[in-house]
Amino acid sequence: MLSWMSRWRFITFCLGLMALPAALVWHLTYLQVVPGQEKGREFLQAQGLARTLREQNINAYRGTITDRHGELLAVSTPVISLAVNPQVISPEGIQKLAKGLGLSRKALNEKLQRYARKQFMYVARQLPPHEAEPIVKQSIPGVIAEREYQRYYPAGEVAAHLVGFTNIDDAGQEGMELALDNHLAGTPGVKRVIKDLKGNIVKDLGIVKTASPGGDAQLSIDLRLQYLAYRELKAAISQQKAKSGSVVMLDVETGEVLAMVNQPSYNPNDRARIRPAQTRNRAMTDVIEPGSTVKPFTVMAALETGRYTPDSVINTSPGYVKVGRKTFVDPRNYGEIDLGTVIQKSSQVGISKLALDLPPNVVREMFARLGFGQSTGTGFPGESLGILPSRRKWHPIETATLAFGYGLTVTPLQLAQSYVTIANSGISRPVSLLKQDEPPLTETVVDADIADQIAVMLKRVTERGGTATRAQTSAYLTAGKTGTAHKVGKNGYADDRYIATFAGIAPANDPKVVTVVVINEPNSGRYYGGEAAAPVFARVTDASLRLLNIPPNNSQQVATR
């Protein structure tokens, strides 16, 4: 009996052992062959692919930025970024990677340990291909190479404030890079790949979505004039020990910005050293009280009323005028002078008496028509509107100070745009930072005869006896107006801090360009607009017109002082 039972148990045991492989084969067949089963073939295949099949972005090429003649201002170059999966890379891989990057193995290992729970971390961004390729060729497990693009700015600090820069991920941060980011950026593509457990690409399965490169942008500036203006402004700021400065040059016929420079500047190719305060495009974001540069517009408002003509006489004796509790003084008693002489001598007494004799709001409305207190429409990030006050009732002191450029603020670009209207015989043109292929829209804001009369008066400012003889050049006749404004301090207007400004037109008899120069806090002892800003205008304008092939028209010997 015992013998029979032992034999039966042995047979049962053997049959059981034989059945296990058969059951295993059946279960595998059931899962992998029989379709439609829960957690069967489709499920397992999907799970397997989910762990190996990946979609990877294809970075899009960012469009270029050029000047009006096609000279490169911003271009993207291919680079390689190296990343690591801390959970996969081995000690030997860390040693190879550290050696290839010229890093300390200890420092790299410590960094990897801090991100030990992550599966992806960058160890080097935007390496030149010749530096990254030797590491990539080693095929270190856990090291991932990504092909990207790095932005490069050939003009460097010369065009930095206008062009701006991108961040390390190639997104616009400042300037036109930010303003046109959607146009320049393009659309990233997608490709499908199979990766192994170590994160390495085993097979490229093809493109899912093709990357679309960004569009190009052609700015209105002429890089030749940009370099010229930058050189002259930088030299002037250094010589005058000034705090900052700006130069803006506009094309009279189109309203395009031909040059726009600021000091101090920065190098957009060295992002590590960029400070926020350096990135301001002062010509568009900073506002100033324009001072006497707006006196021609006050005279223009007076002529428009019909109560005055260019020959009208203002009695400035005895050389000062009291308005409320404030007394405005001229350098000397000019006596009875016509309106042209008021502008030529920049008479505070004359312009105050003129403004106080005009109906309320007349001067303010003229300023508004010229674009003060409004956007220039460029779309530039951070552009200031300035301040143009509006009052239900104007006190005499407010009327007088507004007439000679206090109590309102403008940007250098707004001031340049207002002078384009004079140069265009009363026709206003929109400002553009982009090259225009079509004729610009125009609007007549001042009668042509009145605007031309003001233009004639502005010529006298740069001639003998005017406040800006240093703005005259040997080759071209110029016209314009000086401005010297006290800066606001803790206790009101400071007696020892000034903004020197000159707004000019050239050539005076056939205007091609308008240029505004602003010197902030000159400390060389010469702080008047005619001393600090006008010479910069002369040097920039003379050389620029030559580069633009404008024939010289000044056969006179102009006295300088």
Q: Name the strand (E) or helix (H) holding 506.
A: strand 492-506
368 or 7, higher pLDDT: 368
Q: What are phi and psi of 323, to 5 degrees?
A: -120, 110
pLDDT attached to residue 33: 58
Q: Which two tokens stand for residue 59?
A: 């970075």
CB 319 within 8 A of CB 329: yes
∠ at Cα 373 (544, 367), nearest 5°? 75
pLDDT band at residue 557 using 50, 70 and 90 as cut-offs: very low
pLDDT attached to residue 494: 87
Q: Which of 76, 292, 347, 428 is catalytic?
A: 292
pLDDT attached to residue 465: 94
Please, what is the average pLDDT of the chain? 89
Strands 65-66 and 217-218, bridge-based pairing? parallel
Q: With 50 as the cut, is the pLDDT of residue 236 above it?
A: yes
Q: Model's pTM, two decimal places?
A: 0.85
Domains, the chain: 52-78+150-218 (3.90.1310.10), 223-547 (3.40.710.10)
Q: How far apart are CA 413 and CA 428, in angstroms?
A: 14
pLDDT band at residue 29 using 50, 70 and 90 as cut-offs: low
Burial of 461 (0-12, 13-18, 19+ CB in 10 A): buried
How many of the other CB atoms lie within 10 Å of CB of 24? 10
Q: How far apart are CA 350 and CA 340, in angstroms?
A: 11
Q: With 90 as the cut, is the pLDDT of residue 209 above it?
A: no
Q: With 60 as the cut, is the pLDDT of residue 198 above it?
A: no
pLDDT band at residue 415 using 50, 70 and 90 as cut-offs: very high
pLDDT (mean) for 30-57: 58
Q: How far apart are CA 432 and CA 260, in angstroms?
A: 12
Find where tokens 């740069």 sit. Answer: 462
* pLDDT tens digits, 264-297: 999 999 988 888 888 999 999 999 999 999 999 9
pLDDT attached to residue 114: 83
pLDDT band at residue 352 using 50, 70 and 90 as cut-offs: very high
pLDDT attached to residue 560: 40
Q: How far apart are CA 64 and CA 86, in angstroms?
A: 37
Q: How far apart are CA 484 and CA 521, in angstroms?
A: 10
Residue type, 208: V
Check if 292 is active-site: yes
